[in-house]
Structure 1
C-alpha cells in the first residue's frame, strides 16, 4: 500500500470541526459557535423529519458556510474597518431593508479618515449596496470552491452558494427565496443567529429574533418548529468536537493523501486573510519539510513538520485584517493580538489527538531560541528540532514576501538577515542553515502560464493576488488603466474566477505565487 493511501487516523468531520474553531475567531464569536449552530440545526432537522442524506450534508455545510466570508477579510476591512468586529456586530441586525442599509452606512469606512468614510458611504448610497451584495456572492463562490476541493458532493456545493439567500428573496443571489432555498440552508439561517442570541441574551432573546424575522430572513416552518421545541433544541448537551466520533454518519476516514490535500486547502484559505501572504503557508511548509528531510529526521517528523507549516498561521483568523495590513508600526494592543495568533493556532488544533501534535509544532513558528518569540517565549532545549526548522523557514519565507509596512527583501538580504539571527542566538544555527540550503539560497523557478495565460497575464494575476487594484497594476507594469482592466477580465474568463479570492486560489494551485518570483 502506498503511503498516501494509508489511513491518516482522522475523519474529515473532525478536521472540519477543528477548522471551524478558526472560523469562530474570524466571526468574533467564542470557539464552538459554528459547532453549536450545527447542533441546533441538526436537532431541528430531526424534529422536522429531514431525510438522512440531507442531515449528513447539513454538517458539512454548517462547518464551511462562513469560510469564504472570513477569507475575504481584506475586502471587508477596506469598506468597514475591523472585519472581525463587523461580523460580530452583524448578528444584532437584520441585514436587509432599511435596517441593513443603516447597519452598513454606520460602519462605512470605520477606523479610517473622514474622507474615506464619506467615500465608502457614498459608494453604498449610489450603488444601492450592490458592491456589498457582490461581495457576499463572491464569498459563497469561494466557499463552494473549498467544498469541491475536499471532495464533498454537489448537494453541499450547491447549498453553500445559497448561504446569503433569504426567505423573502432579498438576499444573494437576488430573487432566490422561499422553497427555492435548500432545506439545510433554511435551518442554518436560523441556527446561526439564534445560537448567538441565546448565548448572549437567553432563550427569550432567541425566540424574539426568530419571531421578528419569520417570513423575512427565516423560513416560517423552521421558526415554528424552533418555537415549539426551543428548550431542547438549545440544550448545551453534546455540542463539542467529541460528539462527532459517536455519529456514524460522519465517520469518513481520510487517507494520508487526502489529509494533505485538505490541509493545503486550509492553508490557502488562511493566507487569503491578508493579500500579501498568499502562498506563504505552502511555501513555509515545503521549505520546512525539505529541510527536515535533509537533516535526516524520521519520516514521521518530516511529514509532521510540513503539515505544521501548512497550519502555522491558522490563528491569524483571530487577528483583524486592519492589523495584518497596517502600513505603520503596531500599537502595543495590536501587537498583543498578533502575538496571540500562535496561541490560537495551538488552541484550534488541540483536538482531536491526531491534530494535537501538529498544533504543538505549528505554534512554535514564531518562537526564538533566545526566548524573544511568542506565544510561550520558549528558548534553548525547550524548542524541538521540528520547531526550530519551522521557525527558520517561516522567518526566511516571510522576508521574501512583501508586507504592508515594507517591501520584499531580496534573497541576498534575507539570507544575510537569517545569518544575523543565527549570530544573535534567535535562530538555531543548524536548523537555519539547513533551511537556507533547502531553499537553494534563492534559486529562481520559471513561472508558466496555465489555462492559456500569456506572460503578461501571469504578471497581472500575481499582482492582483497580492492585493493590487487595477490602477496599481497599471502603474507597476507601465500600462494604461484600461489595458490593465482588460487583462484582469481575460484572466477571470480564462481561469473561471469571479473574484480576487478565486483568482488567488487558481494561482496557488498552479504554483504562480512563489515569493522568489517577485
Structure 2
C-alpha cells in the first residue's frame, strides 16, 4: 500500500502536453490528414498569436485550443458514416470548402450517400435538402459540446473549453452558434480556424496556395485582421515549421509551466484517450475500459507484480487508439469484411503503436498495446508475431480483448458461455495462450475457481522460478529472491522440467522463450532479474 501511495504521488514522467499531443495524432487519422497536421497547425497558431500580441496566459489557452479543436469530431462519426459513407474521407474534404451555408450544403449534397446504392443516395440528398442539413448542424453542435467536455476532463479551464464551443463560428456570423461572429468569437478560436486550414493548403501547394485560400475567405470565414497579419509574415511562419517531425517542436513550444502529470492523474487522463477512441462507434463504447479491468485482474491472478499490472492496464486502455483511423463503415459492418476492408482494419494496432511512439515516456505502453491483436500461431496483426515473441502480458491483453469483443453487440453479443467456448477453441487452435485465457475467463466469472496455470500447466510460482532459472539464477539465488528454501526451489525446478518435457536449463530457457515468458521489450514474467 505504501508503494502504491508513493507511485500515485510521484510524477509520471509524462507531461500533459505529450498526452494531448498524442491525442492530436489520433485526430489527424480521423480527419484524413497526415500525422502531425494538428501539431503543425497548433505551432502556426501559437507563433501567429505571439506576433499579434497575445499575452502568456492567452497563448497557453491557444496552445490547447489548437490541439483540441477537432477532438469533438469523433462523436459524429456514426452519423457521418450513415450520411456520407467514409466518415474520414468526408472530413478530409471539408478543408477544401468555405463552410458558408450554400457552399457547405453543396459539399454535403455531393458527398451524401457515397458508396451507397442510387436509391439511398437520392434519399439522403433529399433529406438534407428538406431539412436544411439540420442533422449535420446538430452533429456540429455535439462536436463542440464534446470538445469542451474533453477539455474539462483534461483539467483545462474555461479559457480552453469556452473557445472550443465556437469552432464552427464564422467571422460573418453565418456559422454555429447562429449569429455569433466578429470579435465576439474568442481570439484563440479565430487563430486556430485560420491556421488549421492554411496548414493543409500550404502542405499541398506551398505559401501561395495557402495565402490564396486566406484571401478568398477573409471577412467571411476568417478574421480579416488575422489574415493580414498572417500575410505579412507568411514566409517566415511557414519556414519556422520543422522540415521533419513536428512533435518534439510542439512539446517544446508549450507556453507557460510545463506541467507533469502525477502518477495519480495519469490513469484518468489515459482514460480520456480510451473514451475518445471508444466514441468512434456505439457498439464499441466502454470497450477499452472493460478490457483494461479484465486484463489487470487476469494479470494479478497470474502473479504479475504491481508495476507490470499497472503497465498492462494502461496498454489495455490505449490498445484501440488507432481505431480513429478506421472508417466507421468498416468498424460497424455486420457482415464479413472484404479484402480491402480487412487490410485496412489490420492497420489499427500499427496506428496505435505509431501514435504512442512519439512521446518517449509512452513508448513502453505502446509496444505492449500493439500486441492486442497478435496470435501465438502468427496469424495476428499487425506484425504477425509468433509465440516466442509475445510476452505473457501481451497474451493476457489479447485474451481480454478477444473475450470483450465477443461479448459486445456485433450485431448481437455472444452469451458469456459462448464467448468462453470460442476463446477456448482459439487455445486449441494454437492462437491463444491457455494460461492467459484461463485467467481471463476466471476473472470474467466463466471458469471454476482453481489455481491459475501457465503453459504446460505450470503454476504461478513455477513460472516465477522458471523465469529466474532462465535468467541464470542458481537454486540458492532463486530461493533467496523468492523467500523459499533451496530444496523447495530444487523441487520446483524438477516439476518444471517434468511438465515442460525438458531435461536441462538450456531447454527450459528455450521453453520459456517459446511461450513468451521472457519479454524482449522489458522484464515481464515475474518482474524480477536474476540476482
Q: TM-score range by the shorter chain?
A: 0.7 to 0.9
- TM-score w.r.t. structure 1 length? 0.83
- Distance in 2 between residues matched to 1:442 and 1:328, nearest whole Å: 30
- Distance in 2 between residues matched to 1:82 and 1:280, nearest whole Å: 22
Q: Does 1:81 align with 2:88?
A: no
1:67-95 superposed Cα distances (whole Å, 9 cap, x missing partner)? 11123211111111101100111111112
Give how far 1:236 is off. Answer: 5.0
Q: Is the 8 A contact 2:56 2:255 kept in 1?
A: no
Aligned to 1:175: 179
1:421-469 superposed Cα distances (whole Å, 9 cap, x missing partner)? 11111001111111111112289xxxxxxxxxxxxxxxxxxxxxxxxxx
Q: Does 1:165 align with 2:169?
A: yes
Aligned to 2:138: 134
Greater Cα offset, 209-218 or 421-430: 421-430
Count of residue pairs brought into register by the alignment: 441
Aligned to 2:381: 374
- Structure 1 pair 231/250, CA: closer, same or farther in 2 (3 Å)? farther
Aligned to 1:104: 108
Q: Does 1:195 align with 2:195?
A: no
From 414, 418, 428, give the equivalent of 2:423. Answer: 418
- TM-score w.r.t. structure 2 length? 0.81
- Distance in 2 between residues matched to 1:128 and 1:72, nearest whole Å: 18
1:37-61 superposed Cα distances (whole Å, 9 cap, x missing partner)? 0011111101100111111011111
From 403, 411, 434, give the equivalent of 1:396. Answer: 403
Greater Cα offset, 164-173 or 108-117: 108-117
When the two chains are superposed, the root-mean-square deviation of aligned CA atoms in Å is 1.4
- Distance in 2 between residues matched to 1:165 and 1:5, nearest whole Å: 41
Q: Is the 8 A contact 2:292 2:314 kept in 1?
A: yes
- Structure 1 pair 202/248, CA: closer, same or farther in 2 (3 Å)? closer
Structure 1 residue ranges without an equivalent (≥5): 444-518
Q: Secondary structure at the match of 1:8?
A: strand
Give how far 1:104 is off. Answer: 0.7
Aligned to 1:431: 436
- Distance in 2 between residues matched to 1:129 and 1:191, nearest whole Å: 27
Give how far 1:235 is off. Answer: 2.1
From 67, 70, 73, give the equivalent of 1:66. Answer: 70
Q: Is the 8 A contact 2:75 2:142 kept in 1?
A: no
Q: Does 1:441 align with 2:446?
A: yes
Q: Is the 8 A contact 1:13 1:250 kept in 2?
A: no
Aligned to 1:315: 322
Q: Is the 8 A contact 1:284 1:394 kept in 2?
A: yes
From 29, 38, 45, give the equivalent of 2:42. Answer: 38
Aligned to 1:240: 246
- Distance in 2 between residues matched to 1:370 and 1:184, nearest whole Å: 52
